[in-house]
Amino acid sequence: MNKLLALLQILIKQTDENHKLTTNQLIEKLAEQGVAAHRNTIPADIERLRNAGYDVICDKSTQNKYFIGSRGLESAEIKMLCDAANAAQFISEEKSAELIDKLFSQLSVYQKNEIKSLIQQPNENKADNKSIYYADAINTAITQCRKIRFQYYEYNEKREKVLKHNGYTYTVSPYAAVWNDDRYYLVGYCEKHKDITVFRIDRLANISIMESIAIPCPKDFVLKDFIAQTFKMFSGELETVTLKCKNKHMKAIIDKFGDDIETHSCDKHFFTVKINVELSPTFYAWVFQYRGEICIQSPQEAVDRFVQMGESVFKVHK
């Protein structure tokens, strides 16, 4: 094995700021791999690694000790990425494990063992292995400005996968792959719907890239605004709604609607907030979950619809 490469791997895998190796220890570990080295050449080899961009640090003393300082990603960053890989429903458990192994390859064995015990367990609702390859195909099609075609499935009452519309093949000009709430979505112009549409990537089947050039994204299309309209209860005509909320729910309001909102304190227990939202079942369901601690004050139309929905639920469960 090449001595520089062997030395680099030893430093990456077996050193960090809390675990350092002396010159003699480096020579011994190189010898274990059948690589000969001399104490007079190690400093020059270390310098060559530094010149190549590796942050090899030397603690100078009677016995110089070496370790890798800054890495491509810090251990805290790697832990966050590992947690994200495990939490994401879109990424299969097998693929999550592969990604985590790749992230771990940047750490020392000591850092790896420490982080391994801290990362969260994989999400129970993981997708199958095909999803990540479908995402890759979508990204390729976007880069090449090509249309894609695919089928879309849903679940029947027996929890079986069934192709939607008897296996209808959708033709879509892809514009973006969007991550939202632990799921991955395709955003593109759907020729069936004649509009920009959202599809869950983990529900796609038999995807292929076509030779046809994609329909260009409209010049006035703003992805950020589209995502807000699609995923945050803003998909239709917007109404200005006033909510009265318990103070403890300020975080929930900001998480849902952002911090660029108008709020006013009512008393020491409640505040009001004005939001622009579509008066949809999704919005009413969101309010309903707070069991009266967030309530609609105006417009009256919204109050009446909310009461009607509550009465309908009450009748069913009488």
Q: Is residue 279 in some structural domain?
A: yes
Straight-line distance from the first to the last Cα atom of the chain, in angstroms, rounded to the nearest whole number: 76
Provide the token pair at 316. Answer: 């069913």
Measured between alpha carbons, how far is 15 from 45 in angstroms, rounded to an integer?
A: 16
Q: Is residue 168 in some structural domain?
A: yes
The CATH number linked to 205 is 2.30.30
Domain end residue (candidates: 186, 219, 252):
219
Sole residue written with tokens 């104490």: 39
Task: Identify whether residues 261 and 310 lie together within a single domain.
Answer: yes
State the helix-helix crossing angle for 3-14 and 23-32, rounded to 10 degrees: 110
Please tell me the predicted confidence (pLDDT) of residue 1: 55
Please tell me the predicted confidence (pLDDT) of residue 233: 55
- For 4, 54, 57, 63, 293, the CA distances from 30, given in Å and listed in that order, are 10, 19, 19, 18, 66
Domain end residue (candidates: 185, 219, 253):
219
Task: Identify whether residues 244 and 275 lie together within a single domain.
Answer: yes
Provide the token pair at 121. Answer: 């367990």
Domain end residue (candidates: 116, 145, 176):
116
Task: Identify whether residues 196 and 173 lie together within a single domain.
Answer: yes
Task: Identify whether residues 96 and 151 lie together within a single domain.
Answer: no
Find the domain containing 22 and state its range.
3-68
Task: Identify whether residues 39 and 8 lie together within a single domain.
Answer: yes
pLDDT (tens, 9 = 90+) of the chain, 318 residues, equals 588 889 999 999 999 989 999 999 999 999 998 888 888 889 899 999 999 888 999 998 888 899 998 887 888 888 888 888 888 777 878 888 888 998 998 888 888 888 888 887 777 666 665 777 898 899 999 999 999 999 999 887 777 889 999 999 999 999 999 888 778 899 999 999 999 999 999 889 999 999 999 999 999 999 988 887 777 655 556 789 999 999 999 998 988 888 788 899 988 899 999 998 888 888 899 999 998 999 999 999 999 999 998 888 888 877
The CATH number linked to 27 is 1.10.10.10
Q: Is residue 39 in some structural domain?
A: yes
Please tell me the predicted confidence (pLDDT) of residue 217: 94
Measured between alpha carbons, how far is 9 from 311 in angstroms, rounded to an integer?
A: 67
Q: What angle do CA 117, 122, 123 make, to 5 degrees?
A: 145
Amino acid 76 reads A
| Cα atoms in the 13 Å half-sphere on the side-chain side of 159 | 0
Please tell me the predicted confidence (pLDDT) of residue 180: 80
Task: Identify whether residues 236 and 265 lie together within a single domain.
Answer: yes
Cβ neighbours of residue 33 closer than 8 Å, sequence gap 6 or more:
1, 6
The count of domains in the chain is: 4
For the segment 166-203, what is each residue's pLDDT rounded down to a tens digit? Answer: 999 999 999 999 888 778 899 999 999 999 999 999 88
Please tell me the predicted confidence (pLDDT) of residue 297: 94
Q: Is residue 158 in some structural domain?
A: yes
Please tell me the predicted confidence (pLDDT) of residue 232: 65
Q: Is residue 124 in some structural domain?
A: no
Helix (H, G, I), strand (E, B) or coil at 160: coil
Task: Identify whether residues 163 and 185 lie together within a single domain.
Answer: yes
Please tell me the predicted confidence (pLDDT) of residue 290: 93
Provide the token pair at 279. Answer: 């008066």
The CATH number linked to 237 is 3.30.70
Q: Is residue 38 in some structural domain?
A: yes
Task: Identify whether residues 144 and 197 lie together within a single domain.
Answer: yes
Task: Identify whether residues 136 and 213 lie together within a single domain.
Answer: yes
Q: Is residue 56 in some structural domain?
A: yes
Q: Is residue 227 in some structural domain?
A: no
Task: Identify whether residues 34 and 109 lie together within a single domain.
Answer: no
Measured between alpha carbons, how far is 164 from 206 in angstroms, rounded to an integer?
A: 13
Convert 166-175 to b/e letters by CB count within 10 Å (16 or more is b). Answer: eeeebbbbbb
Please tell me the predicted confidence (pLDDT) of residue 311: 87
> Is the entire prediction scored with pTM above 0.75?
no
